Amino acid sequence: MIAGNREGFNFREQLRTTRTIEDRTERPVWNHGEVIRHNLIVLNCDAQVWGWFAVDDNRHWPVRGAPQPPDATAKPGDIAGAYVAKAGAGQPQGLTLEKLKLRFENNIYFAAPGRSWFKWGPSWMRHGNYTACVDSSRTLGSTQAARYWTRASPICASWICVSARRHCRDLRRATRKARCRASP
């Protein structure tokens, strides 16, 4: 459950590298191959889902909306070619949203009136603010079998609040129990 935050679920992307544990060599990292499923993403202020992709290569847009230069690093027939780093050290080239395989499945979304559903791209670059979930699904094509509450009845809104309070209470109890078991 992701509820009552400034932003709900986020992808954060920028050109960066990180060291590996085995050889401490810097390697490029990026979001790919993620499935976000079976979540209740509701009542977040700025957006229920936001893709903060601060990269100039348009990898976070579908191929039909983002012109891409040809991928010079991929070998013919290499299904992982899109993930190969350029010159062995940089970010992969020729990525699109389809190649990143970022999917949302079987989630439930609700935004309060006047709040955003999906935002894609950082506000200082090309971005989309989708006030209707159907628009985000149609444009980005990454949401499957989702349920969107377009209106919340008082019963539904109170269920969300009660459920959130119960979830937080259960989480606090589990954390307390885990701390007690860990202490000598």
pLDDT greater than 90 at residue 142 = no
Confidence of residue 8 (pLDDT cuts 50, 70, 90): very high
| Pair 47, 124 in one domain | yes
| Pair 101, 184 in one domain | no
Q: How far apart are CA 143 and CA 159, in angstroms?
A: 24
Closest residue by Cα to residue 47 from 137, 114, 135: 114
CB count in 10 Å sphere of residue 94: 20
Beta strands in 55-157 (DSSP E): 102-105, 108-110, 118-120, 128-130, 143-144, 147-149
Mean pLDDT value across the chain: 74
pLDDT, mean of residues 76-92: 56
| Pair 48, 123 in one domain | yes
Note the pLDDT tens digit of each residue in 66-80: 544 445 454 555 555
| Pair 29, 79 in one domain | yes
In this prediction, residue 89 carries a pLDDT of 56
| Pair 138, 112 in one domain | yes
Confidence of residue 111 (pLDDT cuts 50, 70, 90): confident
% of the chain exceeding 70 in pLDDT: 59
The one-letter code for the residue type at 98 is E
Q: How far apart are CA 168 and CA 155, in angstroms?
A: 20
| Pair 170, 132 in one domain | no
Total domains in the chain come to 2
Q: How far apart are CA 149 and CA 157, in angstroms?
A: 10
